Structure 1
Amino acid sequence: MVRLLEKKQRTGSILTTFAIATFGLHLFVLLFLILQGLNIQKLSVRKQPNFVQMVDGKAVTATDDLARDPEAIRQFVSKTMIAVFNWSGTLPPQSIEEFSKPQIDRGILIRTPSSGSQKVTTSSWVASFAFSEDFRKGFLSQIADMTPPEVFASNSNQIISGKLVIKRIYPPKQIAPGKWEVGMVADLIQTKQSENQRLIVPFNKDLLVRAVDYFDYPQTEKMTDMQKAIYSTRTDRLEIYEMRNLCLLDAYDNVNGATSNQCLQAPNTGSFTR
C-alpha cells in the first residue's frame, strides 16, 4: 500500500513538472513571436536608406538622410535642366531601332494663364517631375509659353529645335540642412532647321535644391515607358523647389562676398524664365 502511494506521488510530480515546463515553453514562444512582430512593424515603417551618387558612378549609403554629394547635386541640376529644354521634336529613344528612326513628339498640352493651352515637349514634361509639386505647375506653364509651336511642326522646313548649353554650374552652397543653392550659367539656343538661323538667349539662374525621399513603384513589371521615365527622375532623391535670376556679379564671382550695386538695381521681372 505504501509503495502504491509512493508511485502515485512520483507520477503526479512528473506530470506537474512537465505541465510547468510546457507552460513556460509556450510563454517563451509567445514572447518571441511578439518581439518578432514588433521588429517587422519597425521594418515596415522605416524609411528606405538614402544613397549618395558618387562621381565614379558608385553609390554609398549616407550616414545622414539629408546628406548629398556636391557633384551629385551638380549632375542632377545639369541633366534636369538639359532635359527640360530638349526641344528636338522627337521622343527620347527607347530602343536601338528608335535611335536611327526616332518617333515624332506630339507634345503634351498644358494650361497657361496667358494663352489657354500650349504644348510642351514630352522631355520637358517628364523632367518637370524633378521639381517640387507646388513649383512644377507654374514652371510648366511658363515653359509652355516659351516653347515655339514650330517644334511640333510636321513640315521639316518649319521645324524649330531648342537646347540648353550649360557653360558653368557653380558648386552647391548649403543654405539649410538638406537644402542647397546652385548657380547655373547657360544659353538657350533655338535653331530653325531650314535656314540654320539661331537665336541665343542667356539663361542664368539660381536654383534651390533640397533632399527628398524616394519610393519605388510597387509593380515595376506593369510600368509603362512613361512611368519608368518619371520614376527615374526621382531616383536622385533631390528636387528643385525654386528658381531665381542669377546675377553674375554676386557672391559667386565676388571674392569678397559683397553683392554689386549693379545687381541690386537690376529690375526684378518676377519670372524665372526671363
Structure 2
Amino acid sequence: MVRLLEKRQRTTASVLTVFAIATFSLHILVLFLFLLQGLNIRQLSLTKPPNFVQLIDGKPVGNIDDLAREPEAIRQFISKTMISMFSWSGTLPAQNIEEVATPKPDLGVLIQTPQGGSQKVSTSSWIASFALSEDFRKGFLSTVAEMTPTEVFSENPSLMMTSQLVIKRVYPPRQIAPGKWRVGMVADLIQKNRVGGARLITPFNKDLLVRAADYFGNPQGDNGTDLQKAIYSVRADRLEIYEIRNLCLLDGNNNLNNDKFTQCGAGQTSDSFTR
C-alpha cells in the first residue's frame, strides 16, 4: 500500500514538473513573439512611405522608383514655389467669399537677419519656404526678409508696394545625381507702388538645385488649421530646393527657346543668389 502511494506521488510530481516546464516554455515563446512583433512594428514606423502616385495637373502618374520625379512635376514645383516666395500683395489669400471682397491685411512674419536685427517676410513667403531643405531655409528667409520692402506691410495706401515674380521660362531639369536635379529659371521681379503705379523691374535668373524628399501626411487631417494645411500641402510634392545660385544666359537672354545657360561665377553660392 505504501509503495502504491509513493508511486502515485512520483507520477503526480512528474506530471506537475512536465506541466511547469511546458508552461514556462510557452511563456518564453509568447515573450519571444511579442519581442519579434515589437521589432517589426518599430521597423515599419521607421520606413518612409513609398511614392506610389505622383500627380501632374491633378492626374496620377505611376512611379516605381521612389527617387524618380517627372520633369514636368519638377518644373511646376519650381514655378509654384518661387511665385509664392516672391509675390507680395500685402494681403492674405482669401479663405472664403467674404475675404475675396475684403481681404485681410498680411501682418508678415518676423525673421532674424544675419546682422542681428529682425525684418518681416510675407506670410506666403514663409509658407513657401517649407519647400526648402531645413539647412537652407533659415539663411534663405533672412535674405528674402532683406529684399522685402517694409512698404508691403504699410497701412497707408499711398505708401503700399506689391511685388510679383513673372516667370519667362523654367528649363527642363537636368539630373545631376539619383534624386537630384538642376533647374534654370528666367524671370523678372516686378515691384510696383499701388498709388501712381511706378514700377521697378529686376532680372531674376536663378539656377536651382532640387532633390527628392520624404513626405509625411498631416496627422490632424481636416482638423488642422489653414496654416498647417498650407504647410503640409507644400511638402506634398516630395521635392525640396537645397541651393539657389545666379544663372547666366550665354546668349544674353535674347532667345528663350534654347538651353544655353550656366552658373554665374565659380565662387558664388546660395548666399549670393540675389546679386
TM-score, normalized by length of structure 2? Answer: 0.79
Structure 2 counterpart of 1:234, which letter? R
2:59 is aligned to: 58
Task: Report SS of the residue matched to 1:74.
Answer: helix
2:178 is aligned to: 177
Runs of 4+, deviation exceeding 6 Å: 28-38, 252-255, 263-267
> What per-residue deviation string (whole Å, max 9, x for no partner) do you get for residues 167-223 of structure 1?
000000000000000000000000101111110000000000000101123223542
Question: Alpha-carbon deviation of 1:98?
Answer: 1.4
Structure 2 matches for 1:254-265, cutoff 5 A?
none
| 1:51–1:83 CA distance, 2 compared to 1 (3 A) | farther
Conserved 8 A contact 2:54-2:63 = no
Question: Alpha-carbon deviation of 1:62?
Answer: 2.3
1:224 is aligned to: 225
Unaligned runs of 5+ in 2: 1-28
Conserved 8 A contact 1:52-1:72 = no
Structure 2 counterpart of 1:161, which letter? T
Compare 138-147 and 108-117 and name the one that shifted more.
Answer: 108-117
Give the whole-Å Cα distance in 2 for the aligned partners of 1:198 and 1:75.
27
| 1:104–1:240 CA distance, 2 compared to 1 (3 A) | same
Conserved 8 A contact 1:54-1:69 = no
> What per-residue deviation string (whole Å, max 9, x for no partner) do you get for residues 110-169 of structure 1?
111247111110000110111011111111111111111110111111110001000000
Give the whole-Å Cα distance in 2 for the aligned partners of 1:167 and 1:145.
24
Structure 2 counterpart of 1:81, which letter? M
| 1:266–1:254 CA distance, 2 compared to 1 (3 A) | farther
Give the whole-Å Cα distance in 1 for the aligned partners of 2:217 and 2:57.
24
Conserved 8 A contact 2:245-2:264 = no
Question: Alpha-carbon deviation of 1:93?
Answer: 1.5
2:95 is aligned to: 94
Give the whole-Å Cα distance in 2 for the aligned partners of 1:189 and 1:78.
16
Question: Alpha-carbon deviation of 1:30?
Answer: 10
Give the whole-Å Cα distance in 2 for the aligned partners of 1:58 and 1:119.
37
2:250 is aligned to: 249
1:82 is aligned to: 83
TM-score, normalized by length of structure 1? Answer: 0.79
Task: Report SS of the residue matched to 2:126.
Answer: helix
Question: Alpha-carbon deviation of 1:100?
Answer: 1.9
Q: Cα RMSD over matched residues? A: 3.7
Give the whole-Å Cα distance in 2 for the aligned partners of 1:96 and 1:202.
35
Task: Report SS of the residue matched to 1:138.
Answer: helix
Question: Alpha-carbon deviation of 1:230?
Answer: 1.1
Task: Report SS of the residue matched to 2:190.
Answer: strand
Give the whole-Å Cα distance in 2 for the aligned partners of 1:132 and 1:167.
25
Structure 1 counterpart of 2:92, which letter? L
Task: Report SS of the residue matched to 1:247.
Answer: strand
| 1:62–1:42 CA distance, 2 compared to 1 (3 A) | farther
Give the whole-Å Cα distance in 2 for the aligned partners of 1:249 and 1:159.
37
Give the whole-Å Cα distance in 2 for the aligned partners of 1:68 and 1:267.
30
| 1:62–1:32 CA distance, 2 compared to 1 (3 A) | farther
Conserved 8 A contact 1:86-1:164 = yes
Structure 2 counterpart of 1:140, which letter? L
Structure 2 matches for 1:32-47, cutoff 5 A?
40=41, 42-47=43-48
1:103 to 2:90 alignment: no
Structure 2 counterpart of 1:232, which letter? S
Give the whole-Å Cα distance in 1 for the aligned partners of 2:155 and 2:264.
45
**Residue-pair matches, total:** 264
